[in-house]
Each structure stands twice: as structure tokens, then as C-alpha cells.
Amino acid sequence: KPWILGLTGGIGSGKTAAANHFARLGIHVVDADQAARWVVEPGRPALQQIVEHFGPGVLHEGALNRAALRERIFLDPNERIWLERLLHPLIRAEVAAHLADAESPYAILVSPLLVESGQYRQVDRVLVVDVPEALQVERTVGRDLTSEEQVRAILKVQASREERLRHADDVLLNDHDLAWLQAEVERLHRFYLTLRGGRQ
């Protein structure tokens, strides 16, 4: 079983930018959001079960129509619970399988909801990418070309900065430029290598 670093942070904090740089250093990165999409791909058993449960209205050209499914579970909390009970164990298994493929000295699980979902209990160490809220909103608006209001609405449903930091072993304060972020990633990477003591 590989040694796993959980990487999390709020929306637009710089998780992807940090993870991409760890990957450039040769570290195996698994994205929890991607795993959540893979388990409902055509041909996977979960999609079949979702269609049997909700009907063909949640399909579009053979693939899952996320908007349609979202609407169904938004209107009915019981349906949301049904879906979560189906998907959560599958996503957990998918994530574990991809982490097990790691050949690097350690592996990274990137998850925006590491704290909210309790996934932090399944990793060996937690790195939080932290950013002052004003900068977080500015960067997210710049990236997604969305409104500040919309970003603030998402911030409200995510864990607070304080709550996330309570679970952090390490903090990467991403309040400088990208070159600085990368230098911080390299510093942390060297530190994680010493923690691992060269073990695979």
C-alpha cells in the first residue's frame, strides 16, 4: 500500500496548480473528482443501476446526463441518499485502485472535499492549499469567468478555511505567484521524501 498524501483546499485555492507540479516531479496523482466521473461511465455497472432506478431520462446518447440526474436528486433527498449509497463505496474503491498503481515514493489524492467527506481519515498526511478569501474569489472569477456572487455561494457550502486548516498537517499558503507555488511544492516534495526515508 503506497504512502498517501491528501491534497485539499477550497475552490480556486490552487490544488490543481500544486498537483500538476507534484506530477511534474514524478509523483503519482489521483483526482477524486475524476474517479467520481469514471465510475458512472458507459459500461460500468453503476450507470446500469442508475438507469434502472431513475429511468432512461437520466441518459443522453448512452451516457449519464448529469444535469438530469442532479435535478432528480435535488427534488428528493431520499433519492440523493440512494445515489450516495451506491456511488460512495464505488468511488472509494476506484480511488484506492488508482492509488495502488503508484510507483512513485508516495502518491497524492487530490480531493476538494477531503475534509467534508471524511476521506482525510484514509490518507497518511494532509496538505492544505490555503489562500486568503479575497484572492481565492479573485482567482476563481478570473478562471471560470463567473460572478463573485456565485463563487461566494460555493464558498458557503464548502468547509470553512478554519475547519480545513484544523485537519492540515502541512499548509501551502498560495498567496504569491505561480513560480513561488512551484518552489513551495518542491520544498514539500523534498520533505515528503525524507519522511518516506526512500521506502517504496
Burial profile 130-158: b = 16 or more Cβ within 10 angstroms, e = fewer: bbeeeebbebbbeeeeeeeeebeeebeeb
Single residue of 126, 181, 185, 188 touching ligand ATP by CB under 6 A: 181
Are the C-beta atoms of residues 32 and 109 closer than 8 Å to each other? Answer: yes
**Candidate ranges 11-19, 42-50, 101-109, 115-123; the one touching ligand ATP (CB under 6 A):** 11-19
DSSP 19: H
Q: Which of the stretches 8-16, 48-56, 58-66, 73-81 binds ligand ATP when contact is defined by CB under 6 A?
A: 8-16
Of 41 and 144, the one with the shorter C-beta distance to ligand ATP is 144
Gap between the Cα atoms of 29 and 14, Å rounded: 15
- 105 vs 112, which CB is nearer to ligand ATP? 112
Q: What is the number of other CB atoms lying within 10 angstroms of the CB of residue 198?
A: 7
Question: From the list 112, 115, 151, 168, which residue makes contact with ligand ATP (rule: CB under 6 A)?
Answer: 112
User: Is 105 near ligand ATP (CB under 6 A)?
Assistant: no
Among residues 6 and 12, whose Cβ is nearest to ligand ATP? 12
In the bound complex, what is the minimum distance in angstroms from residue 188's beta carbon to ligand ATP?
14
Binding site for ligand ATP (CB under 6 A): 9, 11-17, 112, 139, 143, 174, 176-178, 181
